[in-house]
Chain A
Amino acid sequence: MTMKTSTRQVNGITIVDLSGRITLGEGSVILRDMVRDLVTKGNKKILLNLGDVNYIDSSGIGELVSAFTTVRNQGGELKLLNLTKKVHDLLQITKLYTVFDVKDDEAAAVGSFK
């Protein structure tokens, strides 16, 4: 199952709902293009909702890191929402769980942006 995305705005925060797989050649390119497009258009407060992402490989992890640094380098913030257990475990063992700001409640996540 390839990745699908949709975006919505809540109180000035861009929420990107992702579903499927973020892997090399599939979701990773879609995610990269989407984040770059959002930042180019001035949307620099981004919440990636990974609640329906059931699989991510090392390329996908790299793309999340790339998205994080791309947004941060433009003075914005990128946070993660609703990690599945698989994605949570992957971020734990790669020590990225402490790098990303990870949330499990959408309203609280939206309110946490500066």
Chain B
Amino acid sequence: MTGNRVSYTLDSSLESVNTAEETAQQFATKAGFDDDEIMKISMAVREAAVNAVLHGNAYDPKKKITVGFENTGASLVITVADQGGGLDVNNIPDPLQPENLLKTSGRGIFLIRSFMDEVRIRSLEPGTELTMIKSIGGRAAEGKEASK
């Protein structure tokens, strides 16, 4: 899979969320991750796809989501983009704060950040693109530690 890059353009539907999750699971499996990491990667992609379909495109049939997968050899780079109204990255509530603990939503981005080594959020015209990176063999995690 090294160097492989694939991209899918999907409808704004729950089926697309499941497709993105299943594709991520297959991609992570082929990259050699263990079951625990595969679950984390596929769940991060599911959460990103839910955000794109539900919050970004609001199930608008005219809008699409784009999900991209790349194995660079050193890491998996997964992007999920929507065509919605955009996400205010400076105004994402912390779901761990006491006042937010009993809220019924708002944990998606937190879980993505917990499960992936690096997460970038970029505004598009229109929409939002989430880039999620998971190192193969824990190299990015070591880099994180080294930079502290």
Contact = CB atoms under 8 A, between A and B. Distances in A.
Given A57-B43, A86-B39, A94 B96 contact: yes
A15 to B, nearest CB: 23
Contact of A69 (B39, B46, B102): B102
A24 B39 CA distance: 17
Contact of B101 (A24, A58, A93, A99): A99
B54 interface: yes
B104 A63 contact: yes
A94 B102 CA distance: 11
Nearest to A94: B107
Interface in A56-114: 57-59, 61-63, 65-66, 68-69, 86, 90, 93-96, 99
A42 interface: no
Interface residues of A, number: 21
Contact of B102 (A25, A55, A58, A65): A65
Contact of A24 (B17, B102, B114): B17
B105 A58 contact: yes
A90 B95 CA distance: 13
B108 interface: yes
Given A57-B47, A58-B47, A58-B50, A95 B96 contact: yes
A59 B50 contact: yes
Nearest to A32: B104
Given A24-B50, A24-B54, A58 B96 contact: no
B62 interface: no
A97 to B, nearest CB: 11
A70 to B, nearest CB: 10
B105 A62 contact: yes
A93 B101 CA distance: 12
23 contacts: A23-B46, A24-B17, A24-B54, A25-B14, A57-B47, A57-B50, A58-B50, A58-B105, A58-B108, A61-B107, A62-B104, A62-B105, A62-B107, A65-B102, A65-B104, A66-B104, A69-B102, A86-B39, A90-B111, A93-B111, A94-B111, A95-B96, A99-B102
